[in-house]
Amino acid sequence: RSLGNGHASRPQSPLKFFIQAKKRINDVFKEILEYVQEAEKFQTEVPEGCKQEEELSVTKYEGKIQGIIEVLTRDHMKVVFFGRTSNGKSTTINAMLRSKILPSGIGHTTNCFLQVEGCDSAEGFLLTEDSDQPKGIGSIKQLASALSTVKLKENSLIRILWPKDKCRLLREDVVFLDSPGIDVSPDLDTWIDNFCLDADVFVLVANAESTLMQTEKNFFHKVSSRLSKPNIFILQNRWDVSVSEEEADQVKEQHYQRNVDFLSNELKVVDKQEAKNRIFFVSSKEALISRLHEDNLTPTPSGSLQKDYPERLFAFANFEKSFESCISKSAVKTKFEQHSQRGKNIMSDLREIMEKTLSTSQTQMTEKQKFREEAADELDYLDKQLILLTSEIKDKIKYMVEDVENKVSYALNE
Ligand code: GTP
Ligand code: MG
């Protein structure tokens, strides 16, 4: 049964908002670049005598704009997953990616930061901070699992480049960050500084079998002090385990109340109404299993999905829908607002320079005109002088010729 969360691109995908905005702003900067290049060409063609002073040159803006275009093409939407060990962070990301990419398991599994991003190649690969050499996807468990003997340090980052054509969310510019459990590290401040300051959305993966813990709350208090109003979603995961308990409905209500209170009263990142739309009761494990079978066109083995599972799969798809809309709006605002402000500043600088260029060249033109008029007056005078002179000379020559003729005819007569 299709749950409406296939990985084929959907025309109404909220993530398209970010992609369209990125294309639009990129086009605007390309136009600005063309304008600068035109202005630059104009300035180099100005005759030597009329050259502008150095500060009126537009050359420096070309590099600036090219820099912005480069940053823009790398801009993406980033979601960071946090929570205590074994709550299901890696499983949740795998379910969203519809592939078992990240190592998951009981106990403390994820040992360092793992960033999953899209690539255009047909095969995925890994990049680690210590080398430029790409590594095979197969070595991920060895590098990232806490159970491995050659694992990387917990503050390090492994980038997983996964083929875009295998996953819609990667194709649509979302980057995922998986983290070690917040309860196993004393160094949360460094984590936040290194990995969270450019995050657009945070997903807290909580365990629905217990209540929100102080370590989880503390982490988000720290995030809130560094970022104003972070976008936070809370996944009450492993709901498949709790749902058959007798008091499940009351527990759900208790989780809702405490989570809403945490987001709206304690962190003050959203109001009460909005907070309710940020909490989802899911089973990432069921979502992953059912999606893998759905994509392989194989039936999901009975027993792997618990009672009332469609409700949890639906909640998971609903979470993704809210998440997509939230992350694309937030990323457009935080990432492109800065670019458009810089674009506006550059345009107003250019305008000022071109206006100055215009007024300088106008002054120069008036001066030349004046010079030409003065020169014309002088020429006029010279002309008249010349005419006068010529007629004098003419007369003189006439007399001389007549004189010579007279003298010649006199001599001949003689
Ligand atoms: P660390 O990497 O150690 O911090 O853990 P994690 O938060 O990444 O958890 P992980 O995804 O590795 O999941 C831990 C274990 O819980 C795995 O055995 C998963 O199969 C299981 N698990 C994850 N989500 C669920 C769920 O919704 N229901 C059930 N029953 N098990 C789950
Ligand atoms: Mg993990």
Q: Tell how far the Cα of 105 is from the centroid of ligand 1, in angstroms.
A: 6
Q: Is 325 exposed, middle or buried (0-12, 13-18, 19+ CB in 10 A)?
A: middle
Residue indicated by tokens 């004046």 = 370
ipTM summary value? 0.99
Ligand 1 pocket test, pick from 99, 104, 241, 280 with the greatest ligand atom count within 8 Å of Cβ, gives 104
Q: Is 46 exposed, middle or buried (0-12, 13-18, 19+ CB in 10 A)?
A: middle
Kindly give the residue spans of alpha helices, DSSP state H, lying in 75-187. Answer: 89-97, 140-144, 168-171
Out of 86-95, 145-154, 158-167, 168-177, least confident range: 145-154
Q: Tell how far the Cα of 180 is from the centroid of ligand 2, in angstroms.
A: 6
Q: How many whole angstroms separate alpha carbon 264 and alpha carbon 266?
A: 6
Q: Tell how far the Cα of 182 is from the centroid of ligand 1, in angstroms.
A: 14
Residue 49 pLDDT exceeds 60: no
Q: Which residues line ligand 1 (CB under 6 A)?
A: 83, 85-91, 104-106, 108-110, 180-181, 205, 237-238, 240-241, 283-285
Residue 203 pLDDT exceeds 90: yes
- Point out the ligand 1 atom lying closest to the alpha carbon of residue 104: 12
Helices 89-97 & 284-296 angle (0-180, nearest 10)? 30
Residue 51's pLDDT is 58
pLDDT, greater one: 377 or 279: 279
Strand stretches in 275-373, DSSP E: 279-281
Q: Tell how far the Cα of 91 is from the centroid of ligand 2, in angstroms.
A: 7
Residue 251's pLDDT is 93
Q: How many whole angstroms separate alpha carbon 286 and alpha carbon 370?
A: 87
Residue 289's pLDDT is 97
Read off the pTM: 0.83
- Let me know: does 115 contact 158? Beta carbons within 8 Å: yes
Residue 81's pLDDT is 97
**pLDDT tens, 117-167?**
999 999 999 999 888 899 999 888 888 777 777 766 777 899 999 999 999
